Structure 1
Amino acid sequence: MKKYFAVAVLIGLIFWGFYSVQKPNTPTNTISSSSKLTVGIDEGNLAPDFELKTLDGNSIRLSSLKGKKVILNFWATWCPPCRSEMPDIEKFYVDQKDKGLEVLAVNLTNAEKNRADVAPFLKSFGITFPVVLDEKGSIGELYDVYSIPASFIIDTQGVIQKKLVGPMTYDSMKAMVGAIK
């Protein structure tokens, strides 16, 4: 009798698990509007929100940048392609920041040999755009970043318009950002 009961419970759990996986999107992963957007990292999805601290301890939340075009860039100091794109990102930021553009650079601090390398790196490149520290690697993981540099071009509504793995140039940023609303 106990064997039949255990089998019945197991079958019930399987159906419950199947039902849970098959449920439609819930309000926790969609945004209410005339057209529902799924939160995710694919082009056309609402960018997942997060909050991280800067080197000086201030917090920045991605959703606070809504209304601006955003280049969300993941990088590390030891990464040669990251180093090569930094001057172009800085120049593009300076040229476009008064036109509704924000750059939010996420340093994958958990992948750094030494957290203390970040500040001198930023100073050596004259970086003026906001840089936040992903000390646990959770945001890099959330955005499925396994190769750097990786960038997400996000429109004024918070929707990912372009994903790019590899270094950006001034001209590529101009073309990608110029193509979004």
Structure 2
Amino acid sequence: MLKQISAGLFLLILVGFIVYSEVGQGTEKDNSSEELTKYDVSGKTDQEGTAMTAPNAPKGLEVGDEAPDFELETLDGDKIKLSELKGKKVMINFWATWCPPCKVEMPEMERFHEKYGDEVEVLAINATGTESKLRNVEEFIEEEGYTFPILLDQELETNDDYQAVSLPTTYFIGTDGVIQQPRKVGPMTYDFMIEMKDSLK
């Protein structure tokens, strides 16, 4: 009988200790959560993308790096290979239909493409592997009437190669096939695109 009482008492103390520990940790988590940074996903053009980036995430390709080659199918069924565009300035924009800031910059990209498409190739690479269905991309482009090439990254290999961990992200490639300006994370304005065009050689 004494052994049963002792065992019961031991279990009661153990359960009490576990409950106390969990409540204490929960309080600490609640306090720390108040200190977390709040991210603006309102679609304002001055925000820096929609995704939170881990502190140890790769920082992306740097100025002076050769742009990794890729060949992707377009929404129209054609294929575009980056290395075949050598000798031309290229803006590579990574985006998705679920990304509000991506949608904010696209009219600016269309305006830029219509005026400077002969000077700079605008390639909008859709992170198709993150889309719920391809039809979302097709409907969005059809409704908005965008005319710059939409490339489909079904396996997200190109997104990985360019370390596009936040969307939108844009790289600026010179005629030599080298990244000539720091990548832009977040939506671009028309004036910013002109500035980048003029800076590329």
TM-score, normalising length from structure 2? 0.68
Instruction: Tell me which amino acid in the other structure corresponds to 2:77.
Output: G
Residue 62 of structure 2 corresponds to residue 42 of structure 1: yes
Residue 146 of structure 2 corresponds to residue 127 of structure 1: yes
Q: Equivalent residue for 1:102?
A: 121
Q: After the TM superposition, which parts of structure 1 deviate over 2 Å for at least 4 consecutive aligned residues? A: none
Percent pairwise identity: 50
Q: CA deviation at 1:67?
A: 1.3
Instruction: Tell me which amino acid in the other structure corresponds to 1:130.
Output: P
Instruction: Give ranges in structure 2 of 5+ residues lacking alignment.
Output: 1-59
Q: Equivalent residue for 2:135?
A: 116
Q: CA deviation at 1:42?
A: 1.4
Query: Which residue of 64, 72, 90 maps to 2:110?
Result: 90
Query: Which residue of 138, 148, 155 maps to 1:136?
Result: 155
Q: Equivalent residue for 2:89?
A: 69
Q: Equivalent residue for 1:9?
A: none
Greater RCO, CA 8 A, separation 6+: 2
Q: CA deviation at 1:41?
A: 2.3
Whole-Å separation in 2 of the counterparts to 1:48 and 1:122: 26
Cα deviations by residue, 1:94-119 (Å, 9 ceiling, x for unpaired): 10012x21101100000111111111
Q: CA deviation at 1:57?
A: 2.2
Cα deviations by residue, 1:39-58 (Å, 9 ceiling, x for unpaired): x9211111000001112322
TM-score, normalising length from structure 1? 0.75
Cα deviations by residue, 1:124-176 (Å, 9 ceiling, x for unpaired): 22211111100011110111011000000111111111211100000111111
Instruction: Give ranges in structure 1 of 5+ residues lacking alignment.
Output: 1-39
Q: Equivalent residue for 2:179?
A: 160
Contact 1:41–1:48 (CA under 8 A) maintained in structure 2: no
Q: Equivalent residue for 2:170?
A: 151
Instruction: Tell me which amino acid in the other structure corresponds to 2:191.
Output: D
Whole-Å separation in 1 of the counterparts to 2:83 and 2:113: 19
RMSD of the alignment, in Å? 1.2
Whole-Å separation in 2 of the counterparts to 1:141 and 1:129: 22
Bigger radius of gyration among the two: 2
